């Protein structure tokens, strides 16, 4: 369990700036995490998620701003780094070693000694549900099992903050659910989990808070329901699909209605007040303009809608 | 934590049978092959394949060829019924290293100082030119030992032509003596002489030359494989950077220094085991005196292993990707081994290449082993080679740490 008080952030990022040549990878990013919560970092490639994770891991010096883990800077203080568990996106394990041997090696590298090593290994195997497969080499484990082992290796020294990069890439639905359960278990021990992901559904399912990033900026952060409410209020999300990109006239009608094109120009969405009646009116107007609608519907708004709204306003 | 990195490397090697074989079995097998080749090439076992065709078939040519055919240094190729064209063909096809033709149009063998075509023709392939020198030596040997009457008679003829005229009595005595000598030589009696009678080879020190060469090759092959396996192990630096293992380790309390030092210690230990296996094989199979030199051998081996480990880590740390590291490692090892004398002894090389060898660790390692096993020298002879190798170790290891840290920050 974390030694930090529940309401005191174990991780704090304040006004983080970092540039690579002319490109601003982080621009005034501030974020905090308390013990026992999962924060999902959402954003497209190049948004700054990895840069932020590297800065938190102490692998990157900020141009301005601070990162602190229990009050210490992980870039200069190994005590702070010892409070962090790292779970890279790739399976960062030794393929020729068994599950137990991998855990043993990384436990020692994490600074554990004596009986603490065996205890940590057994706990990790139990958490990953791999006790029965402990003596098998990494290559003989399924993709999901390797992912779980990859995660629990990051928890061997019982860190206060676990940094996870895309924890469910390339796994099937069952394996994904098992990993979600594992992350919930870890959170329940008091661990704070900062997880980068592209997957809005995953963030909605397991994150206590989400943080949207784009172009190095933190666009918004908070609980999923709160963010959805901020953008959509009591509205539903309207979704209109076309078979081809729409022309200027139809685009104007959709924009006036409050909808915005997604990255796929054939799909428009946005908050809709007035329910199905409003949607019927929109469909009629588009028909009169000679535009064929492939699909039109209302749904409960989600994080993808929030993200579209935020990125549009950011640009 | 350095021990933890050592353990990771050890478990990786232990769980990978292919890598185990490459690290500990292949070097010994390779050494056995190289030692067999070079110990025979430099010792008394070396044989050249010679095809003989005698177009004269008189008493002298038969005696000469019979003498040559009994030499341990000559493997006789069957030429039953062959003429000079078939003889040439045997050499062209490589069935024989050299062909010896006693030609019909040549002078007699006892007319050494006369005029006209020489009696013997050595048909050879210039790519195996050394075989001509070797066969010429054998012919000289046979000429004086098996045909002493002919050799002495030729000398007498030259004497008479140029310096002194024998009277009839002297001439008759000489002819009678030479004739008796010829008969005795034909019966296999030792009446002739050879260069061996006036030459006594004296080795500078130590065991027979063939064993010295094995000692040389033990060091040469061992250090080349040491470089190969160290480079292969050091490639894990870039692999771990790419796989994310490095991120985990750097997040821990040890950091990059622990990672590089752990690998260094493992590679150096692995190198010592490799060296031990090869030199033990050289001792058991070829009699290289390892027990008699174990203390200095241990010192050289430890320092050579550390130098190989440091250099390998430096090469890996400089490279950005595992593929780049593997390619760079192979090129580096082959270049150092060729120039440094691990593949071909340096005394076979042209002077400029021999000088270039002093810039490779291989040369200094071989110099150190040669001082001990070949020249029977003591600790003072190791100060320069071991000092240079230690310097290389320190510089390489510091360089590997710096480059690894630099790459990790990118």
Q: Which chain A residues are Cβ-neighbours of B254 within 8 angstroms? A: 109, 111
Contact A152, A124 (CB under 8 A): yes
Range from B21-25, B94-98, B175-179 carrying the lowest mean pLDDT: B21-25
Mean model confidence pLDDT for chain B: 85
When CB atoms are compared, the residue of A58, A82, A92 closest to B248 is A92
Q: Check pLDDT > 50 for residue B201.
A: yes
- Residue A2 is predicted with a pLDDT of 38
The closest CB to that of A57, out of B7, B242, B247, belongs to: B247
| Domain A9-224 listed as CATH 3.30.465.10 | no
**B23–chain A nearest CA distance, Å:** 16
Q: Give the model's pLDDT for residue B333.
A: 92
Confirm or reject CATH 3.40.1710 for domain B48-197, answering yes or no: yes
Confidence band of B50 (pLDDT split at 50, 70, 90): very high
Q: Compare CB distances from A108 to B4, B242, B408 and report the shortest one's residue.
A: B4
Looking at CATH, the fold of the domain delimited by A228-314 is given as: Alpha-Beta Plaits (3.30.70)
Judge: A96–B15 Cβ closer than 8 Å, yes or no. Answer: yes
Closest residue, chain B, to A151 (C-alpha): B248
For residue A67, what are the β-bridge partners?
Answer: A13
Comparing CB atoms, the residue among B3, B12, B251 nearest residue A57 is B251
Residue B44's pLDDT band, with cuts at 50, 70 and 90, is low
Q: Residue B89 is encoded by which pair of tokens?
A: 């063909």
Dist CA B398 CA B400 (whole Å): 5
Nearest to B12 among A89, A96, A108 (CB): A96
Measured in angstroms, the CA of A292 and the nearest CA of chain B are apart by 49
In this prediction, residue B35 has a pLDDT band, given cuts at 50, 70 and 90, of confident
Instruction: Compute the distance between CA of residue A272 and CA of residue A269 in angstroms, rounded to an integer.
Output: 9
pLDDT tens-digit series, residues B312-369: 999 999 998 888 898 999 999 999 999 998 888 777 788 888 889 999 999 999 999 9
List CB contacts (< 8 A) between B238 and chain A: none
Question: Number of CB pairs < 8 Å for A and B?
Answer: 86
CB contacts, 8 Å: A57 with chain B: 247, 250-251
How far is the C-alpha of B135 from the C-alpha of B49, rounded, in Å? 10
pLDDT the model gives residue A193: 95
According to DSSP, residue A199 is labeled -
Sequence spans of domains, chain A: 9-224, 228-314
pLDDT for B39 beyond 70: no
> Shortest Cα distance from B334 to chain A (angstroms)?
28
Residue B144 has pLDDT above 90, yes or no: no
pLDDT tens, B355-378?
Answer: 899 999 999 999 999 888 877 888
Residues with pLDDT less than 50, chain A: 1-6
Rounded CA gap, A174 and A27, in Å? 38
Residue B4 pLDDT: 83
Residues of chain B whose C-beta is under 8 A from some C-beta in A?
1, 3-5, 7-8, 11-12, 15-16, 242-245, 247-255, 258, 408-409
**A58–B251 C-beta distance less than 8 A:** yes
H helix runs in A82-129, sequence order:
99-109, 115-127
Burial bucket for residue B112 (CB in 10 Å: 0-12, 13-18, 19+): middle
Contact between chains at A154 and B248 (C-beta distance less than 8 A)? yes
Closest alpha carbon within chain A to B15 = A96
Greatest pairwise CA separation for chain B in angstroms: 107
Residues of A with Cβ-Cβ distance to B242 under 8 angstroms? 90
Q: Which residue has the tokens 């090389």?
A: B349
SS3 A218: strand
3-state secondary structure A172-194: CHHHHHHHHHHHHHHHHCCCEEE
Please tell me which of the candidates B8, B247, B253 has its beta carbon nearest to residue A82.
Answer: B253
How far is A251 from A237, CA to CA, in rounded Å?
A: 18
Question: Is the model's pLDDT at B22 over the cut of 90?
Answer: no
Q: Which is more confident, B55 or B206?
A: B55
Beta-carbon separation of A105 and B4 below 8 A: yes
pLDDT classification of B218: cutoffs 50, 70, 90: confident
Q: What pLDDT is recorded for position A3?
A: 40
CB contact under 8 A, A59 and B11: no
The verdict on a CB contact (< 8 Å) between B11 and A94 is yes
* pLDDT value at residue B206: 54
Among B128, B46, B62, B143, CA closest to B95: B128
Percent of chain B with pLDDT over 70: 93
Q: What is the pLDDT of residue A133?
A: 93
Would you list the DSSP string of B257-271? HHHHHHHHHHHHHHH
Q: Which residues of B touch A157 (CB under 8 A)?
A: 252
Per-residue pLDDT of B237-282, as tens digits, reads 888 888 888 888 887 777 788 889 999 999 999 999 999 999 999 8
Residue of A nearest to B406 (CA): A59
- The residue ranking higher by pLDDT, B106 or A313, is B106
| CA separation, residue A190 to residues A38, A167, A311 (Å) | 10, 19, 33
Least confident of A68-82, A166-180, B197-211, B285-299: B197-211
Q: What is the model's pTM?
A: 0.74
Residue B129 has pLDDT above 90, yes or no: no
Q: Can you tell me the distance from the alpha carbon of B225 to that of B329, in angstroms, rounded to the nearest whole number?
A: 12
Contact A109 B248 (CB under 8 A): yes
Tokens encoding B276:
């031990």
How far is the alpha carbon of B331 from chain A, nearest alpha carbon, in Å?
27
Cβ within 8 Å, pair A86-B247:
yes
pLDDT tens by residue, A134-145: 999 998 999 899
Domains of chain B, residue spans: 2-41+208-409, 48-197
Q: Do B253 and A88 touch (CB under 8 A)?
A: no
Q: Pick from B12, B247, B250: which is nearest to A97 by CB?
A: B12
């Amino acid at each position: 369990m974390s030694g930090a008080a529940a309401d005191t952030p174990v991780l704090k990022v304040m006004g983080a700036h970092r540039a690579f040549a002319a490109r601003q990878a982080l621009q005034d990013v501030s974020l905090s995490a308390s013990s026992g919560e999962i924060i999902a970092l959402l954003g497209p490639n190049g948004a700054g998620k990895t840069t932020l994770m590297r800065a938190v891991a102490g692998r990157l010096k900020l141009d301005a701003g601070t990162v602190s883990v229990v009050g210490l800077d992980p870039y200069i203080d190994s005590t702070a780094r010892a409070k962090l568990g790292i779970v890279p996106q790739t399976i960062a394990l030794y393929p020729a070693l068994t599950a137990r041997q991998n855990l043993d090696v990384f436990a020692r590298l994490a600074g554990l000694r004596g009986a603490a090593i065996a205890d940590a290994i057994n706990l990790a195997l139990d958490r990953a549900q791999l006790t029965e497969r402990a003596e098998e080499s990494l290559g003989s484990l399924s993709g999901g099992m390797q992912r779980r082992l990859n995660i629990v290796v990051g928890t061997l020294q019982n860190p206060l903050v676990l940094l996870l990069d895309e924890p469910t890439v390339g796994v099937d639905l069952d394996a994904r659910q098992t990993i979600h359960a594992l992350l919930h278990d870890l959170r329940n021990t008091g661990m704070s989990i900062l997880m980068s992901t592209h997957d809005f559904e995953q963030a909605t399912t397991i994150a206590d808070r989400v943080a949207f990033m784009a172009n190095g900026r933190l666009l918004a952060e908070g609980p999923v329901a709160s963010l959805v409410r901020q953008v959509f209020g009591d509205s539903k999300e309207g979704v209109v699909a076309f078979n081809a990109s729409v022309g200027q006239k139809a685009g104007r009608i959709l924009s006036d209605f409050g909808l915005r094109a997604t990255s796929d120009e054939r799909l428009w969405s946005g908050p809709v007040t007035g329910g199905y009646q409003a949607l019927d009116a929109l469909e009629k107007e588009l028909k009169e303009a000679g535009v064929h609608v492939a699909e039109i519907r209302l749904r409960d708004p989600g994080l993808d809608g929030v993200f579209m709204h935020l990125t549009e306003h950011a640009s | 934590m350095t021990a933890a990195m050592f353990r990771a490397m050890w478990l990786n090697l232990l769980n990978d049978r292919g890598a185990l074989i490459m690290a500990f079995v292949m070097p010994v097998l390779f050494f056995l092959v190289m030692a067999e080749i070079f110990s025979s090439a430099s010792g008394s076992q070396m044989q050249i394949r010679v095809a003989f065709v005698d177009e004269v078939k008189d008493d002298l040519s038969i005696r000469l060829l019979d003498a040559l055919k009994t030499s341990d240094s000559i493997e006789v190729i069957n030429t039953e019924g062959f003429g000079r064209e078939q003889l040439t063909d045997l050499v062209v096809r490589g069935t024989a290293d050299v062909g010896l033709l006693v030609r019909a149009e040549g002078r007699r063998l006892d007319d050494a100082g006369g005029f006209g075509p020489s009696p013997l023709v050595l048909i050879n392939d210039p790519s195996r030119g050394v075989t001509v020198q070797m066969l010429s030596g054998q012919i000289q040997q046979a000429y004086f030992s098996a045909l002493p009457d002919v050799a002495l008679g030729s000398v007498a003829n030259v004497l008479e032509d140029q310096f002194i005229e024998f009277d009839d009595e002297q001439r008759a005595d000489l002819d009678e003596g030479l004739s008796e000598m010829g008969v005795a030589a034909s019966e296999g009696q030792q009446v002739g002489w050879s260069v061996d009678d006036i030459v006594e080879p004296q080795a500078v020190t130590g065991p027979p030359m063939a064993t010295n060469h094995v000692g040389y090759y033990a060091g040469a092959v061992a250090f080349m494989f040491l470089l190969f396996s160290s480079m292969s192990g050091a490639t894990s630096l870039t692999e771990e950077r790419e796989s994310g293992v490095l991120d985990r380790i750097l997040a821990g309390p040890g950091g990059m220094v622990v990672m590089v030092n752990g690998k260094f210690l493992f590679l150096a230990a692995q190198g010592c085991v490799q060296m031990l296996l090869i030199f033990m094989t050289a001792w058991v199979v070829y009699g290289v005196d390892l027990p008699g030199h174990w203390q200095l051998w241990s010192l050289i081996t430890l320092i050579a292993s550390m130098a190989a480990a440091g250099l390998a880590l430096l090469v890996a740390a400089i490279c950005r990707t595992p593929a780049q590291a593997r390619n760079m490692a192979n090129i580096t090892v082959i270049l150092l081994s060729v120039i440094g004398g691990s593949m071909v002894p340096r005394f076979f090389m042209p002077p400029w290449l021999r000088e270039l060898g002093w810039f490779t660790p291989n040369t200094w390692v071989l110099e150190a082993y040669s001082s001990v096993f070949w020249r029977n020298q003591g600790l003072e002879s190791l100060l320069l080679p071991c000092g240079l190798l230690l310097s290389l170790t320190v510089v390489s290891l510091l360089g590997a740490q710096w480059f690894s840290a630099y790459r990790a920050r990118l």
